[in-house]
Every structure is written in structure tokens, then in C-alpha cells.
Amino acid sequence: MGMTENLLSTSQWLLTASIFVLVLLAALRSVDWQALRKDNATQHSLFGAAVVLGFVWQLRAGISPGLAIHIFGITVITLMLGWALAVISGLLALVITVITGREPLVMFAANGLVTVMVPALVTHAIMLWERRRDFRNFFAYIFFCGFFGAGLSVAAAGVLMCLMLWSSGVYTFETLVHEYLRYLPLFMIPEGFVNGVFVTGLMVFHPDRLSTLDQRRYR
């Protein structure tokens, strides 16, 4: 996240906005709104996660525009709520960053795609892979979906962001490698640790909060 104005060309902005709208529509169609209205616990998780992420995303580091570093936290939200509600919760959090002036409104689609949608979809894909493998040890869910999923999701988001900035001509490939890509493995470690710890805690104390966890599979 951290896309500021004038970092993307008009064609890139339109393409990003189009993909953003398509993913958002898919998320909205995937949600069982009738069940959500009746489930107060899920509603509290949805809006509570949005508020927490909105304030966590205020804390970031970075030198050059568009190359901000911060904890994403989308993986644990995806495992809690599913990818569709995680996208909605993440976008609500992004609204908070816009209101507080940390992100420009015009780049909402680009930041939403990179920071929210890509990590949620990557986490969802890893969760489906873990489910198809039919592991019988609950540590597989914690490691692959929590720790590994979070690290890979932030790596995918970071690479996508760099590709967007490189193709727009804002930065050369050498600059992106020097200022961001070579540090990406270091970003993956704390992201994986933070999300993995939260997933572990939820699995131990509140497994019912993890909607993607099939407790019957693990012994």
C-alpha cells in the first residue's frame, strides 16, 4: 500500500480500477448477506477487524512514494471471515486511511487491489490447497495457511506493486530492487509471524472464529 497520486498512468489507473470493480463484485456476490444479518459474531469480527486494520495501517515506513512498508494483516482476517468478507473488511479499513489522510481517494482502487484483494485471494488459494491436500495435523493449517500464507501474500502484493510502478516508468527496475525488492524477504518474516501468532491463538482459544477451519479433519 502507499500508492500516491501521479504514480500510475491513466491506462494503468483504468485497468486497475476495472480489476478492482470485478473482484469487488465477485466478493459481494459471494457473501451470504441473509446469514450475515443474523450472525452478530461475524458482524462484530467484520467491523472490528476493519477498525483494527485501519489504525494498524497508520504505522508504516518508507522513503520513496509508493514503496511503503507495513503489516497487512489480511491473512488472519481471510481465515476468520473467508476471502469475500475479508475484502470488504479490508476496504472499510482503507476508507479509514483515506479519511485520516494517509491515502488519496483517487488511488483507492490501486491500494485496495494491492493491499486487500491480492493478499486475500492468495491466502484463499493457499487455504484451498491445504484443504485439497487433506492434512490431518492441525499444525498444517497453522503453518501453511497462517505463517506461510501471510508471507506469500505480502510477497505477491509487493511484487505486483513494483510491477505497476516499473511499468508506469516511475522507477527503474534497479531502483525497485535496491529500495524494495531485496528487502521483501525481510517483510515476509514479520508478516508471517504476526498473522501466524493470531491464527494460532484463535485456533487454540476460539476455533469457532476461524470460518475456514474444518475441525473435523484434524486429530
Given a cut of 70, whether residue 65 has pLDDT beyond it is no
Length of the chain: 219
Q: Is the distance from CB of 77 to CB of 202 less than 8 angstroms?
A: no
Q: Is the distance from CB of 107 to CB of 4 less than 8 angstroms?
A: yes
What per-residue confidence (pLDDT) applies to 66? 65
User: Higher confidence at residue 52 or residue 62?
Assistant: 52
Q: What percentage of the chain reaches a pLDDT higher than 90? A: 61
pLDDT band, very low/low/confident/very high, at 14 (cuts 50, 70, 90): very high
How confident is the model over 86-107, as pLDDT tens digits? 999 999 999 999 999 888 888 8
Quickly list DSSP for 76-96. Answer: HHHHHH-HHHHHHHHHHHHHH
Given a cut of 90, whether residue 151 has pLDDT beyond it is yes
What per-residue confidence (pLDDT) applies to 62? 61
User: Higher confidence at residue 65 or residue 209?
Assistant: 209
pLDDT band, very low/low/confident/very high, at 9 (cuts 50, 70, 90): confident
- CA separation for the pair 140, 49 (Å, rounded): 24
Cell numbers for 64:
520513496
Given a cut of 70, whether residue 3 has pLDDT beyond it is no
What per-residue confidence (pLDDT) applies to 73? 92
What per-residue confidence (pLDDT) applies to 155? 94
Given a cut of 70, whether residue 71 has pLDDT beyond it is yes
Given a cut of 90, whether residue 61 has pLDDT beyond it is no
183, amino acid identity = Y
How confident is the model over 15-25, as pLDDT tens digits? 999 999 999 99
Over residues 78-83, the mean pLDDT reads 96
The verdict on pTM exceeding 0.85 is yes
How confident is the model over 168-215, as pLDDT tens digits? 888 888 988 888 888 888 889 999 999 999 999 998 888 889 999 887
Task: Classify domain 10-217 by CATH number.
Answer: 1.10.1760.20
**Pick from 212, 82, 93, 72: nearest CA to 153:** 72
Question: Maximum distance among all alpha carbons in the chain?
Answer: 53
What per-residue confidence (pLDDT) applies to 118? 96
What is the rounded radius of gyration, in angstroms, for the C-alpha atoms of the chain? 17
